[in-house]
Amino acid sequence: MLWRRRWVGAVVFGVAAAVALAGYGIDMVRHHSWELFWQQQLTHPAIDNGSHGVGGHILYMLNEHQRFFHSPKEIVLTLLLLFAAYVLYRHRPHTPEFRNLVIYFVLLVLSLDLIVQGKTTKYLLLYLPYMLLLIVVAFDQLAHLPSTRLHLLARGLLGLYVVVNVVYTILLFPSNRAQQAENEHLVQRLPAYWGKRIIAPLNFVFPGIKNFQIQGATYYFMRADENQRHGQTFDLFATAASEHIPLIILDQEALQQLHLLTPTIAGQSFGAYHFTFQDHDRYVYEVK
């Protein structure tokens, strides 16, 4: 809006965004944790994307394509977007709305890339509405281009997109589990730790957050990556012991991310902790 000098719209948008952002400050006000908040924003490894200085930021941005070509799901959507870009280059609507859409999408990609950690595909959700709008506009403009090959390519790419997404949707069915029910079952097995700090996978939050103070295992993935970048090792169990955390719950993903062996025998020692039991795909370690 500032680009188009729509001052009133910019003010309205800014006020709405500020009100929404203020909601994130409620916990800091309640718990008087502003110092911890700013420390997290400036030094937390989950915020650090590894780019430092002007050159580092430029190199990091040049790798943005990794987000769009992460797996077949993203690749087929990106191919449609590239096809749309070509069509719109050949024939595009000359309207302020279309120019605003292109400018906003480009600025969104560039600005978000500077502040987010890693090239995870979850941030494509923020791009998705604008990607789809550009693809729809391109297919609408396709009628003005008489090339038969372009029309065949459009149908082929759209068909490929449908096939890939149908296959991935079908593959989800066998892996679909009653995750929340399994989490609840594990919560009930650990009443001695209710109200205490624990380390657990993020998907244990529901309903575990009602009974525990959960520190997500993802945070420790980030710390391990940070140590690796500086040529240092990372020991989850030593770190947890230094933070006086009495219970650790890990899943297979966490074991892989932290380069830990899957425990097999109850009573196995891991520093100040010992493996006590497995519940579905969760491995439970208690302080000795």
Token readout for 180 is 């929340």
Residue of 1 and 71 predicted with greater confidence: 71
Burial pattern 204-215, b for ≥16 Cβ within 10 A else e, equals beeebeebbebb
Percentage of the chain with pLDDT > 90? 47
| pLDDT (mean) for 31-58 | 63
Residue 50: phi and psi, rounded to 5, are: 85, 0
**176-187 pLDDT, tens per residue?**
568 888 999 999
Radius of gyration of the chain (CA): 24
Please check the confidence at residue 76 and state whether its pLDDT lies above 90. yes
| pLDDT (mean) for 65-69 | 84
The pTM assigned to this predicted structure is: 0.65
CB 82 within 8 A of CB 74: no
**82-121 pLDDT, tens per residue?**
999 999 999 888 888 898 899 989 989 888 877 776 677 8
For residues 227 and 232, what is the distance between their CA atoms, to the nearest angstrom?
5
For residues 210 and 213, what is the distance between their CA atoms, to the nearest angstrom?
8
Please check the confidence at residue 52 and state whether its pLDDT lies above 70. no
Q: What is the pLDDT of residue 171?
A: 84
**81 pLDDT tier (thresholds 50, 70, 90):** very high
Q: What is the mean pLDDT of the chain?
A: 86
For residues 37 and 32, what is the distance between their CA atoms, to the nearest angstrom?
10
Please report, for the chain, the start and end positions of each structural domain, with discontinuous segments joined by +: 1-48, 50-175, 179-287
Token readout for 230 is 């500086």
**216-260 pLDDT, tens per residue?**
998 898 888 888 878 899 999 999 999 999 999 999 989 998 989
Please tell me whether residue 32 adopts helix, strand or coil conformation. Answer: coil
Q: What is the pLDDT of residue 31?
A: 67
**1-30 pLDDT, tens per residue?**
777 788 888 899 889 988 887 877 777 777
CB 113 within 8 A of CB 65: no
Q: What is the pLDDT of residue 121?
A: 80
Residue of 98 and 60 predicted with greater confidence: 98
